[in-house]
């Protein structure tokens, strides 16, 4: 094979990843799977699309080697093929935020008041949580928390917060996080807790951002 044909082949293989990532729905599927493995039905419900369309998107991601599947009874369960896939999505988003004005504008519109965002670095936040100076809550579903969560974080899914307020100290700052900067669960948690007199801030990071920064995560069998 001559050099030109070889280079064409190499770039063609790399381009398969780019083609698989060219759909907004596929990017969202990867973000969801970065939280932990999920069934096709659960993924379709999260994206508000039918199962057939979700399966087609997942097939494209599988052909590119980004996801794998297994069967559990009548269900097909999908997962990322590696932590590097989640890291790729974080890097892609960082590049998009840096170079696309439209994305920055959209993020500004959905972002919380800057005064309500965590203002310290990740290492300091981790130390504050370790000392018990703050309470970090993970407002994603329990299964996602069990798959991976930030150290010292408590599992408190958005749907349960109102019934579990007694578990949160009123005299300490609460830090809420969810699936990352595109996720709004933590905004809803902030609004709910703020209305009830808690001091609460939002952490833009999710587990993918934490992992991409080389910081530790924890997993557990139960919340």
Catalytic residues: 178
What are the DSSP calls for the chain, one per residue?
--HHHHHHHHHHHHHHHHHHT-SHHHHHHHHHHTT--EEHHHHHHHHT--HHHHHHHHHHHHHTTSEEEEEETTEEEEEES-HHHHHHHHHHHHHHHHH-HHHHHHHHHHSPPGGGB--S-HHHHHHHHHHTSEEEEE-S-HHHHHH-B-TTPEE--GGGGGGGGGGS-TTSEEEEE-SSTT--HHHHHHHHHHHTT--EEE----HHHHHHTT---B--S--
């Amino acid at each position: 094979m001559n050099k030109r044909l070889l280079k064409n082949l190499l770039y063609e293989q790399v381009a398969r990843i780019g083609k698989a990532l060219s759909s907004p729905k596929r990017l969202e599927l990867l973000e969801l799977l970065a939280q932990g493995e999920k069934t096709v039905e659960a993924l379709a419900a999260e994206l508000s699309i039918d199962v057939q369309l979700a399966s087609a998107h997942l097939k494209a991601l599988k052909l590119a080697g980004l996801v794998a599947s297994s069967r559990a009874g009548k269900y097909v369960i999908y997962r990322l093929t590696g932590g590097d896939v989640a890291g790729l999505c974080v890097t892609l988003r960082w590049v998009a935020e840096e170079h696309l004005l439209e994305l920055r504008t959209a993020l500004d519109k959905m972002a919380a008041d800057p005064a309500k965002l965590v203002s310290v670095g990740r290492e300091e936040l981790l130390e504050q949580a370790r000392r018990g100076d703050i309470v970090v809550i993970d407002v994603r579903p329990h299964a996602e928390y069990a798959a991976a969560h930030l150290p010292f974080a408590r599992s408190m899914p958005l749907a349960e917060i109102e019934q579990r307020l007694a578990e949160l100290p009123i005299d300490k700052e609460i830090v809420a996080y969810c699936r990352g900067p595109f996720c709004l669960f933590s905004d809803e948690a902030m609004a709910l807790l703020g209305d009830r007199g808690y001091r609460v801030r939002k952490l833009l990071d999710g587990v993918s951002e934490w992992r991409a920064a080389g910081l530790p995560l924890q997993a557990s069998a139960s919340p």
